[in-house]
Each structure stands twice: as C-alpha cells, then as structure tokens.
C-alpha cells in the first residue's frame, strides 16, 4: 500500500473506545467462607460470594451507565470492525462526524458525574442498611479515589502500513512479511466492509418485521425481542433514514453496490411520514412489502448480513 492519495492509510485510521466506571461489585471472603461451611464444601475455589456494594439503580449512577451504553452504540455505528480487540476502522470521511458525536457524549459523561459523587455518601449509608453484617467500610473508596475510576473517550491511531515495517531480518524474508502484511490488511478491510451491509439489512429487517406486526424481530439490536403490540413510533422511519445518511461515510472502499443499495432503501422506505403509515393500512402494507423485498434481496446477495 503506497502513501498516495486514495491509499488506505490516507483514507482511514484506527479508533478505540475506552471507558471505565466504578462497578461496586466485590467478592466477599467472609460470606464465601460461611457458605462453604454451611454446605460443608472443602474445596476453596468451588464457590465465591459476590455483593453489590451500593444500590446500582440509583438515578445518578444509571445516568452514567446509560451514556456509556450510548457510547458503545455510537462506536459500533461510526466505525468498521478491524480486529477482535475492540479496535475499529474510522474512515477519514467520517472523522469529523464521529469525533463531534463523541465530544458531545464525553461532555454528557463528565457532566453526569458530579451528581453521583454528591450522592455517594448517601448511597454508602443505604448500602449499610441493605447489606447488614456484610457491610464493610473498607469496600468503599474515598471520593478522591472514586473519581479516578471513571473515564470516557476515543483514541485515534494511524492505519498500519507494510512500508513502515522495520525489523532486523534478511531482506528476502522482510519482503515476504510485507507482502503477507499487506494481504492481511486488505483481507481484514474487505471483511469489515460487510458491516455497512449488515447495518443496512438490520434497519430494513426491523422495519419489515414491525410493519408486518411480527412478534419478533431478527435485527441485531432486537436480538429476537418479543413485541406484544403492533404499534411503532416515528423512529421506525427515522432510524432507516439515519442509517442511509451515515453509511456512505463508512463506505471505505467506495463500493458502488453499497451506494446503490443505500439509495434504493432511502428512496423506497424513508419518504413516507410515520403518521401516514399509522393512518392508512394500504400505505402501511405497501411499505411493508417493499421493506420485505429489499430485505430478501440483501439476504441473497449478502448472506453474512442476514
């Protein structure tokens, strides 16, 4: 891969999402020992008792973990998969949008922390009443240390390039390594380009299942979730439109098939107002059939997205 306009190193970078949060979950040696003795268990590692050291349903804490959840969703939506270690490919075309989105989330995260820190003494007091004899003051870090348990953000790294490879090995072996490295990078990128297809298929499949009042949805976000009602919100159409707006920025290889499929989905499924769908069964049925047809077409040509 050469460092010229259009090369992978000039069109993409690597990105990681890193966050940490105080979990408050701790192993309790005393409770573990008592359970082992009660059940006459002699092996030490057979059982371990763990406790939640504070009420995790506290609104101030849930607000923090909710933002972390949004961060994970955003990272999945704004990057392509690179390896199995949580690193993603961030196309240069999506750099500004991705960083701006995470700047907003990062501000929300750090703005949510003071409310939890202020409530911390009260949460510890509540925990004492809940845990009774299992309460241990040493389980609770002082506020200064507690604050260091929280972090949120993304980090950007350059894409690897075989021309940058340096090693004290014979030239003929070095050439082989460079060729293998280039091939591995190219193969990984090609595999990662199935992700935009999968995201598009997810959006279309979700719309098709909800418009057809199916009780379960096959998309990855729903994970087989059961629906008790055939009602749907405005987000049904808005989510498809958002995916169609975002995916062109993830089209790292300028795949014309992906661009064409996005245009088809956008023109076919995003031009009808949700209120019209809810008020007109004929329109709803027609859109459901279009969504199902596109879903079936994508399942045939891109089976890994199905």
Q: What integer best gives the mean pLDDT of the chain?
A: 88
Q: Assess whether pLDDT exceeds 80 at residue 303.
A: no
Strand partners, 25: 52
Strand partners, 50: 27
Write down the residue that tokens 């661009």 correspond to. 259
For residue 154, give the nearest of 245, 253, 77 by alpha carbon.
77
Q: Assess whether pLDDT exceeds 60 at residue 305.
A: no
Selection from 77-86, 140-149, 159-168 with the highest mean pLDDT: 140-149
> Which residue spans within 28-93 are E strands per DSSP?
50-52, 80-81, 87-91
Helix H segments across 79-170?
95-131, 143-147
Q: Assess whether pLDDT exceeds 70 at residue 169.
A: no
Tell me what percent of the residues of the chain surpass a pLDDT of 90. Answer: 62
CA 84 to CA 15: how far, in whole Å?
13
Q: What is the model's pLDDT at position 32?
A: 85
* Segment 200-211 mean pLDDT: 94
For residue 90, give the nearest of 158, 147, 39 by alpha carbon.
158
- What confidence category does residue 8 fall into, taking pLDDT thresholds of 50, 70 and 90? confident
* Segment 154-158 mean pLDDT: 93
Q: What is the model's pLDDT at position 232?
A: 87
Six token digits for residue 60:
């101030």
- Per-residue pLDDT tens digits for 236-292: 999 999 999 999 999 999 999 999 999 999 999 999 998 888 888 999 999 999 999
pTM of the shown model: 0.82
Q: Assess whether pLDDT exceeds 70 at residue 181.
A: no
* Segment 164-178 mean pLDDT: 56
3-class DSSP state of 112: helix
């Amino acid at each position: 891969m050469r460092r010229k306009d259009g090369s992978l190193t000039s069109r993409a970078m690597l990105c990681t999402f890193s966050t940490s949060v105080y979990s408050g979950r701790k192993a309790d040696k005393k409770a573990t020992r008592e359970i082992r003795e009660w059940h006459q268990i002699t092996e030490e590692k057979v059982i371990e008792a763990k406790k939640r050291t504070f009420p995790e349903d506290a609104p101030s804490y849930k607000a923090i973990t909710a933002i972390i959840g949004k961060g994970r969703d955003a990272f999945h939506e704004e990057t392509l998969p690179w390896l199995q270690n949580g690193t993603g490919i961030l196309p240069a075309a999506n750099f500004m949008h991705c960083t701006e989105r995470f700047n907003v989330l990062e501000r929300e995260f750090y703005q949510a922390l003071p409310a939890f820190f202020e409530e911390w003494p009260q949460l510890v007091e509540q925990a004492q009443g809940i845990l009774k004899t299992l309460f241990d003051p040493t389980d609770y870090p002082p506020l200064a240390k507690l604050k260091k348990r929280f972090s949120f953000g993304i980090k950007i790294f350059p894409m690897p390039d075989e021309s940058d490879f340096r090693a004290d090995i014979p030239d003929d072996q070095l050439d082989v390594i460079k060729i293998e490295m280039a091939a591995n990078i190219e193969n990984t990128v090609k595999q990662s380009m199935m992700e935009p297809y999968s995201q598009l298929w997810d959006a279309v499949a979700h719309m098709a299942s909800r418009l057809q009042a199916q009780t379960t949805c096959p998309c990855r976000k729903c994970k087989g979730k059961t629906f008790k009602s055939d009602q749907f919100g405005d987000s049904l159409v808005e989510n498809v439109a958002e995916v169609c707006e975002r995916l062109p920025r993830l089209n790292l290889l300028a795949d014309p098939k992906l661009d064409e499929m996005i245009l088809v989905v956008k023109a076919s499924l995003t031009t009808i107002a949700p209120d019209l769908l809810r008020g007109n069964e004929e329109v709803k049925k027609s859109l459901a059939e279009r969504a199902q047809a596109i879903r079936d077409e994508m399942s045939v040509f891109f089976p890994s997205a199905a």
